[in-house]
Structure 1
Amino acid sequence: MGTSDPRGAGMIGEEFSRLPLRRVEVRPDDPPEQGVWPLTIPAVARFAAHGLDLGAATVLVGENGTGKSTLVEAVAMAYGLNAEGGSTGAMNRTYASESGLHAHLRCIRSGGASRWGFFLRAETMHSFFTHQASAPSPWDPNFHHLSHGESFGALLDSSRFEGPGFYVLDEPESALSFTAQLALLGRLIDLTADGRSQVLLSTHSPVLASLPGARLLELGEWGWRESAWEDLELIDHYRRFLDGPERYLRYLV
């Protein structure tokens, strides 16, 4: 994995020099096979062709099947994080369902930046908590004794989400109430405020998508496009539904 940016510092910006990861891109000597999943997903094909520059916070939004989880999974694994969630040292493994895209990627890191990272993946948190129970930490509760949302909250309040590092979250709102989502948003704001921590987030939540200063990428049949929060299709649908639920419900009844 590279430790410098071959394109020159001017294109990245001095403000990103302490962030763990500047860019992720396909290895030019080992590209993934064209026309084969997951490159059949437009956003993944664009990523393979152009790579992805990462600032302090990058948020991916879009419908199911647009490639959000595939992309964050590949980036997390290329960084050295476990596919089923955890830190760079996690070894928990239940079922290999990830794509092989990560094996074709290289990470362009910032010299001297933190190598710590954590991947919170909502769909595999149960197996992660089971793994933690097999070698319990004195600082952790028994996550399985908590409700789904409480266990996520306890994890987010632990030392795993403190200090400089690369934090990847895949649809973490699945277990969280509105107020719990606000608490997570506050934690992400705190993490990115120090200039040495980085967040890559996929979400369906309008709350989490509002992360201040984040680069918002909306995924769809067009690949991806940068968008402002108020212009996201996600936000438009929520506003329309809250203004008049009957306009949507009449198609369901």
Structure 2
Amino acid sequence: MAGTLAPVAQLLERGPEPGRATVLVGANGSGKSTRVEAIAQACGLSAEGGSTGAMHATRDTGSGLHRHLCLERNPGTTRYGYFLRAETMHGCFSYLEDNPAGPDLAFQEMSHGESFLETAAGKFRGGGPWILEEPASALSFPGCLALLGVLKDLIGLGDSQVIPCTHSPILAALPGTRGHEVGDRRLRERQRAELDLVQGWRSFLDAPQRFLRHL
């Protein structure tokens, strides 16, 4: 697997091991989006987002990693799920408007953040894998808290599985989560306070001048 990112190679070797709530964090280009995309596709979801059965696709940019994954489902587990992917949701919302499955909200008329929150609150219902790629990119601080509340409630139902990748220390605080840091070497499970993401934000907010003088 020469040239393959170490965390992606690890996924191929060991397979995904998500818990009830698994948050992936890491620097840009570390492979976390590739991992959640592969898990979403292995669950039967489009690489560009949407629910099970959505056929939205504008360009085949997937890694193909999902073809090497075999997910295990508990007996009676629903096959419904949703993949909320930040970079492609505009196209996904257009697809939903052009292919209505029933009454739906006018997502394109909302702000970026509002559409994300309404998607999570309205589409994430009952059991199922709820997979999110960089959802905080559209959200303010209160918006991140609102999404955190939606995901917390889903986990509390006991039959949902939530798998976001994020740069947000707020979403990394999802209760009961297994925090995984995607780095140059391997994927490492860590407590929230140990994550580079959390330590970096805390250090910057405590003393921004320590960082600004090096820019």
Aligned to 1:217: 180
Aligned to 1:191: 154
How many aligned residue pairs are there?
Answer: 215
Contact kept, 8 Å, 2:181 with 2:195, in 1: the verdict is: yes
Q: Does 1:180 align with 2:147?
A: no
Q: Distance in 2 between matches of 1:107 and 1:126?
A: 29
* Residues 95-120 of structure 1: CA deviation (Å, up to 9, x unaligned): 11110111121111111112110000
Aligned to 1:85: 49
CA-based RMSD of the aligned residues comes to 1.2
Q: For 1:38-77, what aligned pairs fall within 5 Å after superposition? A: 40-77=4-41
TM-score (norm 2): 0.96
Indicate the SS of the match to 1:59: strand
Indicate the SS of the match to 1:133: helix
Runs of 4+ residues over 6 Å off in structure 1: none
Indicate the SS of the match to 1:45: helix
Gaps of 5+ in 1: 1-33
Contact kept, 8 Å, 2:40 with 2:131, in 1: the verdict is: yes
Q: Distance in 2 between matches of 1:148 and 1:47?
A: 31
Indicate the SS of the match to 1:52: coil
* Residues 214-234 of structure 1: CA deviation (Å, up to 9, x unaligned): 111111012111101011111
Gaps of 5+ in 2: none
Contact kept, 8 Å, 1:114 with 1:196, in 2: the verdict is: no
96, 100, 104: which one pairs with 2:68?
Answer: 104
Counterpart AA for 2:2: G
Indicate the SS of the match to 1:198: strand
Q: For 1:153-168, what aligned pairs fall within 5 Å after superposition? A: 153-158=117-122, 160-168=123-131
Q: Distance in 1 between matches of 2:71 and 2:22?
A: 16
* Residues 62-101 of structure 1: CA deviation (Å, up to 9, x unaligned): 1011110000000110110111001111011111111011
Q: Distance in 1 between matches of 2:74 and 2:128?
A: 12
